[in-house]
Structure formats: C-alpha cells, structure tokens
C-alpha cells in the first residue's frame, strides 16, 4: 500500500506589518507557491491561512486568491480552520475561542463555500482546555508536533496516523507532525526528500505527516532561489507524483479512510524549539547545553520527550510587557462580554479578536514582542475596545487594582481623551499613557532583557550549509546590524516614565523608589505620593487633565543636590525620518533616533509624522534635557538586529534643586 503524504502549509502575516514586507511575501512566496501547485492538480494538500492574510490577498491580489479557490473547488486543497485572528487558543477565554473559530469558519464559507473539519493550532500550542471549544465548533482534528507525543512515551515510528483525545467528555483527533520532515522540507534536495518518504513507505508506514509555515518556501533566507529559481518545489512534487510508493492526500482523505490509533493525552507543550525559547536566559542556556550533550552522546532522539523546556505561557513571566498586554486583553474581554449585545458598539468584538493575535506576545526565532509596530497594533485594538465601551458604559475616573498579578496594584486615571496608569510599586512611574484619539500608548517601551542566544553573537556569522541543500533559519547565525557589547546590557528597571532620581552633592545617585500613596482625588483625577530622600522628602502629584498629564514635585528639606526624572516614550516613527524634536523657536535639532543634549528649556515638541501628532513637553522651571534612543537586540530568521524601542528623555534640575517642579505632557494633533 502506498504511503499517504499529508502535506500542509500554514500562512500568516501579523497585523501592523509593513506594506513592503507583505508585498515581498506575496511576490517571493504566496504567488509562486499558488502558481506552482495549481499546475499539479493531482498533488493534493492542505492549507491554513489566517483570516487577516486571506483578507489581504483577496483585496490586494484577487487573481492569486482565485487560484486557491480553483484548487479548493476541484478537490485538490483542503482548507483548515483556526482562530480567525491567529490567537494562541489556550491563552484566550473559552468564549473568545469559540468566537474566533466560528469567525474563521464563516470566512471560509463565504470565500470558498467549504466547512473546515481540521484546525491549525497557532504555534502548535497545546493545552487540553482547547478541546471543548474546538469540538463545540465542529472541528474533528488538529495537528501538533510529534514531540507532543514523544512526551507521552510514544515511539516516533508509531506516529504515522492520528490519535483521539478527550476533555470534559468532548473528543478530538490529533495528527502528529513529523519533526524530521519539518527540517527536510524544503532544505534538503528534492530527490533526497522523496527518497526519505519512499524509505518510510518501505517501512510500512501509513502516512508521512507535514504541516509547517509556507514562508519557508520563499521568504526564509536563500529559499526563494532554492525553491523556485532552482525548481525545488516542482522537482519535489513531480518526484512524489512519479513514485508508486507515495500518494499525496489531504488530512480529510486520510481521516475518512483510516481509524484512530487510540486514545492519547498530551501535556501542555509546543514544538521543541518553542519550549526552549520560553525559558529565561540562564535556564535556556542550561537546557541548550543539556540537549547538546544528549545529541553528542547519541541519546537525544531516544530521550527528547523527557527533556522538557517551558510552556508557551512562560512568555508572560519572561516579558512583563507581554503579560501586561495579555491581562489588559483579558480584562477588556470580560468587560465586553459583560455588556449586553444590544449595547455594544459595532466592531468591538472584531477589535478584541485582533488584539488577541499571537505575534506580539512572545519571542523566539519568529515571535514579535521585540517589534514595536506589532505591539502597537495590539494596543491600537485594545484602546479601540476600551474607547467604545467607555462611550456606552463609562468607567470610574479612578480605579485601583493589580491588573497583571505582580503583587503591586496599579492606579488607573482616565478621561474621555487620555488614560494614565501609575504603578504602586514604590517608583510611582507611568506603566501606560494612552491617547484615545490616536489609539496609541506612549509608554509602550520594551526593556532590555537578557537573552540566552546572545552568547552566539560572536560565533560564526553564518552557519555552515549542509553537504547538500541549504541551511534552515534555525541553524544560522547572521547579523542585520552591527552589535556592540553595550547593546546587550539588560536594564535594571522597567522602561517606564517619570522614574525619579536624586543625586547628592558628593555624586551619589539613588533611585527614588519609596513612594507611598498618600491620597486620591477622584474628582480631579489625581494621586499624591511621598517618599523620604536623605533628611528630606519628595512629594509627587500625578494629575490627568482634559488633554494633558501633569506631574508636579515638591522637594522639602533636601541637602544640595540634583533631581532628575526619566521619561521613556514610544512613537511610531522610532528612528525613522518622521519622528523629530521641535523647539519653541521652530528649529528641528534632530530626530528621535539621535542622541541630543539641550541646555535648560521650558518647551519641546515630540512630533511624529506617522502618528499625525505627538506630545508637547512643558517643564517649570527650565530643565536640562538629555535624549537618547533606546535599542534592544533580538534574533529573527534574518539574523541579529538592533531595534529602537523608544526615546529615553532625562530632565534634570541642578544647583540647590528647585523646591517646586512641574512637568506636563500635552496631547497634540496636527
């Protein structure tokens, strides 16, 4: 009997991605892939595209989407469902899982006139809690990695079919994706890949199971020339079709013609690389060293199911910014669903679903928490939901609770135009500063975090290619930017705004970190804090007015010294041409990406052309201003890169210190 090749591809582009990247992805991957597969109607395969990418292709490139529609209509392609906006289903509430799955099914029904029976799990993140929502929405089977099964003690040789799991009395079938195939396709020569499949057929295997990112077929480094220029995809398809031992099939074909291999219960996990990425730097390094030793000893393939890394939700513990976005999303989901359907403004459910898109919540070789434009897209949707709900069910002007479960409460001050969130952790810094008109969070600045892969920065600048084929992005070390040692030093405190310091006369610098909340005036939307400093004290008052935030300080009983406060602010242009400083006389001394120092001044405008406005910074008395771009270093499939996260502005008052200081951030629209 011929071996069934279950070949599936998954396509997704994150919301907020730059148009040029989408155009390139289409030209180098989606169009040539569709055009190639369309010429081989006998090659049956499965496809999942996220809802946003399907919408983009249908609007921007309808001719190419028509090719996919034709392949679906003639039975060549099976379409998989999923959460419409590509969420990690395990990380969102059950009600939203059901809503997202049904939204994708409705999209496929409208566009292709089909009902999906299979579903793609974003990043193959598995938790048993997702079973009930998938079953409730009519999904019969999903794909995860064979590593999930190895963690239960299953032998890889037995993973040539599907298994059945259950949760709360609901059942779901689960296909194990072959890790070996993920690393072979399309990186090994086509003839070798076909020969590998034929060898599996010779062992009596029923199926070879593959489902992975379509972007490997043209977007990853070197793959466009390899897959299309050197005709890898054509050679592979033709080799499969010519082999009497192989039969390309859809997952539905196989599911309808084969029985389950039995019951299985999978642990909470993802693919093996993700489990490493979720770990903090020291643990990830230890895990990587352990797996390396096991590979060198020849035990890894046998024992890898017992070498467990972390789980996907660890990203919420690794990155406070991811945890903050996630808990903001959960709170707004609850608030939206507590609002009667008839009172909900149109579009808010869709905005909530878009805020649940996975990309900005994690980081590995692909995740995007390091990319400001992806986090900005999440906050844009969150603020759209919040603004809409405030219009029909206004919140209290002041609220106090521990949103992110870090052991410290936050103070929320809001009005119709702005919102300020102050951390009650002793620093009294701004965790979030929102402009509802722009739907922008000016405090969305990622702190520099230790990453275990930094130790590879001075390794070979490019991994050696295999003796035949090309190197996978997992095996490459390359650089997009010049990286220095200083770029890798982790921050010692979060990148918030209004973080205060006192410099004593002798030069001893100390953070003002002992602020206690002294009082709240809900009518004025303000809070007062006080902290002891040396023999004196500092009183800090945070007040939200109609279109501006005002922070005032009263310094009492302090010895001679200097006071400073640091503002970490995020703008869409980052270090691009559109972000600049404007002085009171109309001059432009430079952009956000430059290091600038100003003598004492009272007013500077932080203007961003992409945003269409910005902030007016006013200080009294005049302050020295030091501005520095804040960069982080991260790794992607394209290599190590420096990314500007925001601008760090330090305001300083020297001499004997001013007894009274006022700093205002005023929202400005063009």
SS3 letters across 97-155: HHHHHHHHHHHHHHHHCCCCCEEECHHHCECHHHHHHHHHCCCCEEEEEHHHHHCCCCC
138 sits in the region (left: phi over 0; alpha: psi -120 to 50; else beta) called left
Report the Cα 553 to chain-centroid distance in Å: 37
Residues 495, 493: Cα–Cα separation, whole Å? 7
CA distances from 619 to 470, 499, 564, 614, 658 (A): 57, 16, 12, 16, 12
Q: Which are the contacts of 568, defined by CB distance < 8 A and separation ≥ 6?
A: 443, 445, 495, 496, 497, 499, 630, 646, 647, 648, 649
Give me the pLDDT at residue 534, please. 86
Distances in Å between the alpha carbon of 57 and those of 10, 68, 150, 489, 573? 14, 11, 37, 41, 26
pLDDT at 350: 97
Percent share of the chain, pLDDT over 70: 95
Out of 86, 117, 123, 384, pick the active-site residue: 123
DSSP per-residue letters across 487-507: GGPPPSS---BSEEEEEETTS
- 444 as an active site residue: the answer is no
Q: What is the pLDDT of residues 349-389, one digit of tens each?
A: 999 999 999 999 999 876 689 999 999 999 999 999 999 99
User: Cβ distance 478 to 640 under 8 Å?
Assistant: yes
Q: Which residue has the tokens 């909340």?
A: 517
For the CA atoms of the chain, what is the radius of gyration?
Answer: 27
At 88 the pLDDT is 98
pLDDT of residue 488: 85
Distances (CA, A) of 217 to 9, 29, 39, 197: 10, 6, 17, 19
Per-residue model confidence (pLDDT) at position 481 = 63
Backbone angles phi, psi at 580, to 5 degrees: -150, 160
Give 42's contacts (C-beta < 8 A, 6+ positions apart): 76, 241, 248
Instruction: Report pLDDT for 66.
Output: 96
| pLDDT confidence of residue 148 | 96
Respond yes or no: is residue 123 known to be catalytic. Answer: yes
**pLDDT in the model for residue 485:** 77
For the chain, list residues with pLDDT below 50: 460-465, 657
Element (H, E) at 640: strand 639-653
Tens digit of each residue's pLDDT (9 = 90 or more) over 94-136 = 999 999 999 999 999 999 999 999 999 999 999 999 999 999 9
Going by C-alpha positions, the residue among 165, 93, 81, 83 that lies closest to residue 131 is 165
**Residues 350, 352: Cα–Cα separation, whole Å:** 5
Element holding 181 (H helix, E strand): helix 179-184
pLDDT score, position 107: 98
- DSSP single-letter state for residue 52: H
Q: What is the pLDDT of residue 620?
A: 95
Check if the beta carbon of residue 8 is closer than 8 Å to that of residue 45.
yes
**How confident is the prediction for the chain on average, in pLDDT?**
93
**Cα–Cα distance for residue pair 54/81, rounded to 1 Å:** 12
Please provide residue 186's backbone torsions phi and psi, each rounded to the nearest 5 degrees.
-105, 30
User: Burial of 375 by CB count in 10 Å (0-12 exposed, 13-18 middle, 19+ buried)?
Assistant: buried
pLDDT value of residue 636: 74
CB 351 within 8 A of CB 383: no
Q: What is the pLDDT of residue 637?
A: 67
| Catalytic hit among 213, 253, 406, 511 | 213
Contact between residue 623 and residue 605 where contact means Cβ atoms under 8 Å apart: no
Helix axes 348-355, 372-392, angle to 10 degrees: 150
Q: Which domains does the chain have, with CATH numbers?
A: 3-267 (3.20.110.20), 271-310 (no CATH), 315-394 (no CATH), 452-669 (2.70.98)
């Amino acid at each position: 009997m011929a071996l069934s090749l279950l070949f599936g591809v998954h396509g997704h582009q994150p919301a907020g991605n730059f148009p040029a990247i989408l155009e390139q992805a289409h030209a180098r991957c989606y169009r040539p892939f569709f055009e190639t597969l369309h010429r081989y109607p006998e090659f049956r395969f499965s496809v999942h595209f996220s809802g946003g990418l399907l919408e983009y292709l249908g609007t921007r490139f309808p001719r190419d989407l028509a090719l996919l529609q034709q392949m679906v209509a003639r039975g060549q392609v099976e379409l998989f469902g999923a959460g419409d906006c590509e969420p990690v289903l395990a990380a969102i509430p059950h009600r939203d899982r059901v809503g997202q799955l049904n939204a994708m099914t409705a999209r496929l029904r409208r566009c292709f006139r089909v009902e999906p029976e299979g579903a793609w799990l974003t990043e193959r993140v598995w938790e048993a809690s997702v079973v009930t929502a998938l079953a409730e929405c009519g999904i019969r089977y999903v794909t995860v990695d064979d590593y999930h099964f190895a963690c239960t003690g299953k032998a890889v040789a037995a993973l040539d079919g599907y298994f059945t799991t259950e949760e709360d009395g609901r059942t779901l079938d689960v296909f194990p994706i072959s890790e070996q195939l993920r690393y072979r396709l399309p990186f090994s020569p086509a003839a070798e890949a076909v020969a590998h499949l034929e060898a599996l057929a010779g062992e009596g295997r029923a199926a070879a199971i593959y489902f992975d990112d379509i972007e490997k077929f043209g977007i990853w480094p070197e793959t466009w020339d390899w897959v299309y220029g050197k005709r890898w995809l054509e050679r592979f398809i033709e080799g499969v079709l010519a082999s009497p031992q192989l039969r390309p099939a859809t997952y539905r074909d196989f599911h309808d013609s084969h029985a389950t291999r039995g019951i299985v219960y999978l642990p909470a996990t993802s693919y093996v690389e993700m489990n490493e990425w979720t770990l903090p730097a020291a643990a990830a390094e230890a895990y990587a060293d352990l797996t390396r030793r096991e590979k060198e000893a020849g035990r890894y393939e046998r024992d890898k199911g017992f070498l467990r890394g972390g789980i996907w939700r660890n990203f919420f513990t690794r990155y406070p910014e991811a945890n903050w976005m996630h808990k903001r999303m959960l709170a707004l989901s609850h608030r939206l669903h507590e609002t009667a359907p008839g009172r909900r403004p149109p579009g808010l459910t869709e905005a909530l679903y878009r805020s649940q898109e996975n990309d900005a919540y994690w980081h590995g070789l692909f995740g995007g928490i390091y990319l400001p434009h992806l986090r900005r897209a999440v906050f844009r949707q969150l603020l759209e939901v919040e603004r809409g709900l405030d219009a029909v069910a206004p919140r209290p002007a002041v609220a106090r609770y521990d949103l992110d479960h870090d052991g410290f409460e936050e103070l929320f001050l809001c009005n119709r135009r702005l919102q300020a969130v102050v951390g009650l952790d002793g620093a009294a810094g701004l965790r979030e500063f929102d402009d509802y008109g722009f739907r922008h969070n000016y405090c969305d600045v990622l702190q520099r975090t230790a990453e275990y892969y930094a130790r590879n920065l001075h390794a070979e600048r490019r991994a050696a290619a295999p003796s035949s084929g090309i190197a996978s992005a997992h095996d490459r070390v390359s650089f997009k930017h010049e990286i220095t040692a200083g770029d890798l030093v982790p921050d010692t405190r979060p990148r918030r705004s209004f973080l205060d310091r006192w410099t004593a006369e002798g030069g001893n610098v100390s953070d003002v970190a002992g602020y206690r909340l002294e009082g709240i005036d809900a009518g004025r939307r303000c809070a007062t804090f006080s902290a002891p400093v040396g023999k004196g004290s500092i009183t800090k008052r945070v007040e939200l007015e109609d279109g501006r935030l005002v922070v005032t300080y009263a310094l009492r009983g302090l010895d001679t010294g200097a006071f400073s406060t640091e503002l970490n602010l995020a703008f869409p242009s980052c270090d691009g041409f559109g972000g600049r400083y404007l002085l009171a006389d109309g001059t432009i001394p430079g952009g956000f990406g430059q290091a600038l120092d100003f003598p004492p001044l009272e007013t500077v405008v932080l203007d961003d052309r992409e945003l269409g406005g910005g902030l007016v910074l006013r200080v009294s008395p005049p302050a020295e201003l030091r501005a520095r771009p804040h960069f982080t270093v991260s790794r992607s499939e394209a290599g190590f890169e420096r990314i500007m996260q925001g601008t760090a502005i330090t305001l300083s008052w020297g001499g004997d210190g001013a007894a009274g200081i006022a700093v205002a951030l005023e929202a400005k629209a063009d």
